[in-house]
Amino acid sequence: MTDRTRVVVTGYGALCALGNNVTDIWEAAIAGKSGIAPITRFDASEYPTTFAGEIKGFDPAAEIGKKESRRLDRYSQLSVVATRQAIDMAGLDVSANADRTGVLIGTGVGGVETMESGIENLVTGGPRRVSPFFVPMMLANMASGNVAIDIGAKGPNFAPVSACAAGAHAIGEGVTMIRNGIADVVIAGGAEAPIARIGVAGFSSMGALSTRNDAPEQASRPFDALRDGFVLAEGAASLILESLEHAQARGATILGEVIGYGLTDDANHMVQPAPGGEGAARAIGLALADAGVTPEQIGYINAHGTSTPLNEKLETAAVKRAFGETAYSVPMSSTKSMTGHLLGAAGAIEGVFTLLALQNGILPPTINQTDADPDCDLDYIPNVARVKDISIAMSNSMGFGGHNVSLIFAKAQ
Note the pLDDT tens digit of each residue in 28-58. Answer: 999 999 999 999 999 999 999 999 999 999 9
Q: What is the mean pLDDT of residues 256-268?
A: 96
- Whether 164 is a known active-site residue: answer yes
pLDDT band at 351 (very low <50, low <70, confident <90, very high): very high
Residue 227, classed as helix, strand or coil, is coil
Question: For position 1, what pLDDT does the model report?
Answer: 43
For residue 401, the one-letter residue type is: G
Question: For position 337, what pLDDT does the model report?
Answer: 98
- Residue 62 burial by CB count (10 A; 0-12/13-18/19+): exposed, middle or buried? exposed
Q: Tell me which of 164, 169, 246, 376 is the catalytic residue.
A: 164
pLDDT band at 3 (very low <50, low <70, confident <90, very high): confident
Q: Tell me which of 16, 169, 246, 341 is the catalytic residue.
A: 341
Q: What is the mean pLDDT of residues 135-164?
A: 97
| Pairwise CA distance, residues 110 & 355, whole Å | 26
- Whether 403 is a known active-site residue: answer no
Residue 257 has pLDDT above 80, yes or no: yes
- Whether 341 is a known active-site residue: answer yes
Question: For position 269, what pLDDT does the model report?
Answer: 83
Question: For position 173, what pLDDT does the model report?
Answer: 98
Q: Tell me which of 16, 169, 246, 304 is the catalytic residue.
A: 304
Question: For position 275, what pLDDT does the model report?
Answer: 80
Nearest by Cα to 63 from 83, 75, 77: 77
Q: What is the mean pLDDT of residues 11-23?
A: 98
Average pLDDT, the chain: 96
Q: What is the mean pLDDT of residues 348-371?
A: 98
Residue 12 has pLDDT above 80, yes or no: yes
Write down all domains in the chain, each with its CATH number in brackets: 7-249 (3.40.47.10), 261-411 (3.40.47.10)
CB 196, CB 113: distance < 8 Å: yes
Q: pTM value?
A: 0.97
How large a percentage of the chain has pLDDT more than 90?
95
Question: For position 2, what pLDDT does the model report?
Answer: 53
DSSP 12: E
Nearest by Cα to 5 from 246, 322, 300, 244: 244
Pairing of the two strands 392-399 and 300-302: parallel
